[in-house]
A and B are shown apart, each in its own frame.
Chain A
């Protein structure tokens, strides 16, 4: 005799039981539909009035609470006594809470991140060696998508305790290009050439004006920095255009970019470098004769 044949279907499927099962099904289906509608409405309302991460946290919270209520309703309808379950849940919750301190720390850090709003969904942030777009801010972690399309999960606690750079917080930003020029060049001319090429680029903002700054004395030459302001979305285009414009314009103006150069000069009052040939290089005739 199989298991199904052992069941007394006549006593089990009484009208009361069927009605009770129908009510359970009704509670579950209607409850889930109502919960879904509530979440959608609240998400739409919050979308207009608050940030994306607050909307996401609130809707997720409503979702979890709603599912819990529906489960409890179904259990009550099935005749399950909730008192022992809730009591056990309290004890289990305490035990889980002690055992998962790291998770709790992440949750609390997540709340701080949401209230402090150092970044929002869609921002580009840099933390440690990772740069990526914020995809979601969840209870335990922040999900990043890097520019080479990798998925990175950063625990909230780590983000709350380390230095974080929000690259796209402000609508405009500046990009600095460092280039070395030989000391023999007319630095005023270099300055005006750099300023002209920045002003000729339509994506570079007139205001704040481009800056040209001589920053350092190096072996290869004087280091000059060109800083241009632009809209944050134009980063890659501006970077490529200004880089190529610097090279093209310097070539047109016969200004060297001394990469790998080293200029050696003596003091004005010093004697010339003494040169002594230690091993004279044999010419071709000598080499032939020696063979």
Chain B
């Protein structure tokens, strides 16, 4: 992806270009849809990596079954977004957020109460490879524990990335670990976000706070979320 940015005096002109074949300004600028941002003169604009603004849905290549009493850790990667921030006057203001990949939309849940998500073209792995992950992706880890007496089978996972922190170390990005305890299709399930970066990346620093802070009604929300996560 080539993200082209033009600066004109006290205005910033920003236009994304998703032509994979092109490398930078080879794209004809007149064909792009530009947005003009009025800032103060000679203002520095900061860029910040961030996670998508909607939940992401990952579809494993084949259905996954977590047997009763077992737990499994899964890894996947999510395309990052770039946030343009104007820090003028001591008050940082977000100008625009642009995905680094053109993400397609998908629906998760039933027709009435489901939610709009992004479909992420990522494999669901049992181990995260050190290489083979694009720099513009964040690595995420989900641990699913089946605390019920029934099989947990799912074909899609929906992860609410709006609730997680984004960490960075050595140019690699990680999110919080997400824990899900499945207690049965008819029971309230528990969902939690482990604070801090993954253990193997303890030196990582926070580069982006969560978009939404999870409220106190964790059990009520997790009941909804587990239905969305498991798709059952």
- Chain A residues engaging chain B, CB cutoff 8 angstroms: 170-172, 199, 202-208, 229-231
Contact = CB atoms under 8 A, between A and B. Distances in A.
A220 B193 CA distance: 59
B107 interface: yes
Contacts of B104: 199, 202, 204-206
B167 interface: no
Interface residues of B, number: 15
Given A207-B57, A207-B119, A231-B116, A170 B106 contact: no
Contacts of B22: none
A128 to B, nearest CB: 26
A190 B108 CA distance: 29
Interface in B105-128: 105-108, 111-112, 114-116, 119
Most buried by A among B57, B105, B111: B105
Interface of B: 57, 102-108, 111-112, 114-116, 119, 156
Contact of B119 (A170, A203, A206): A206
B112 A207 contact: no
B105 A203 contact: yes
B107 A207 contact: yes
B109 to A, nearest CB: 10
Nearest to A229: B107
Contact of A208 (B57, B107, B116, B119): B107
A206 B106 contact: yes
Contacts of A231: 105, 116
B116 A171 contact: yes
Nearest to B156: A207
Contact of A205 (B102, B106, B112, B156): B106
Contacts of B111: 170-172
Contacts of A202: 102-105
Nearest to B110: A170
B108 A207 contact: yes
Given A171-B112, A205-B106, A207-B119, 20 more contacts: A170-B112, A171-B114, A171-B115, A172-B111, A172-B116, A202-B102, A202-B103, A202-B105, A203-B105, A204-B105, A205-B105, A205-B107, A206-B105, A206-B106, A206-B119, A207-B57, A207-B108, A207-B156, A230-B105, A231-B105
Contacts of A230: 105
Nearest to B112: A170
